[in-house]
Structure 1
Amino acid sequence: MSKRENEHLPISQLLKTFVKDNKLEAGLDQVEVREAWAQLMGNGVVNYTESVNLQGHKLHIKLTSSVLREELSYGKEKIIAMLNEHLGKVLIKEIYLK
């Protein structure tokens, strides 16, 4: 029987290693960004949001309201700062509103 190398690692460390070894970071980041968008932007914006996709460091938001799209375009930098602060890391560098 083989001996375990790391018997006393905390579960959080084991999960981080598992995620990294299996290259799951991108998928988890995608889910975290969608949840952050819903929490920070509120129901008024979320109701007009068709899709939220993270590609690299670019966040693509598809909206059903051209008026809302124009309004949000004025505050892109603030939205990026809010989302990154909520996520706890610099994950988003650009936002594209469609």
Structure 2
Amino acid sequence: MAKRLNDNNSLSDVLKHIMESNNLQKGLDKIDVREAWKNLMGNGVNNYTREIMLKNGTLYVELTSAVLREELSYGREKIVKMINEDLGREVVTTVVLR
């Protein structure tokens, strides 16, 4: 049975209810992770980033530079930590650089 919302609910409660009832959080996480990557990595890395995809907690990043891919592979744990801190919760568990 659906939960009935009364007139005294805040807008954030109503939006949270809509997101939960329609399973929208996964789609919003994908968008939020892309924005976090772009903000945290800066223009230098973004110029070599072709595609960013989140799937089941794994962040797949396709890069056009093998040198950059090798350099970023040394800091995978740091990238996961930075993105999760930026989002305020644990969304990304691992990073795969292609």
Q: Aligned residue for 1:38?
A: 38
- Superimposed CA distance per residue, residues 37-85 of structure 1 (whole angstroms, 9 cap, x where no aligned partner): 0000000001110011000110000000000000000000001000000
Which portions of structure 1, spanning 4 or more consecutive aligned residues, are displaced by more than 3 angstroms? Answer: none
- Structure 1, unaligned runs of 5 or more: none
TM-score, normalised on structure 1?
0.94
Give the distance between the partners of 2:36 and 2:59, measured in 1 at CA. Answer: 12
Cα displacement (A) at 1:6: 1.1
Matches within 5 A, 1:45-60: 45-60=45-60
TM-score, normalised on structure 2?
0.94
Amino acid at match of 1:92: V
CA RMSD, Structure 1 to Structure 2 (Å): 1.0
Percent identity at matched positions? 49
Amino acid at match of 1:85: E
Aligned residues: 95
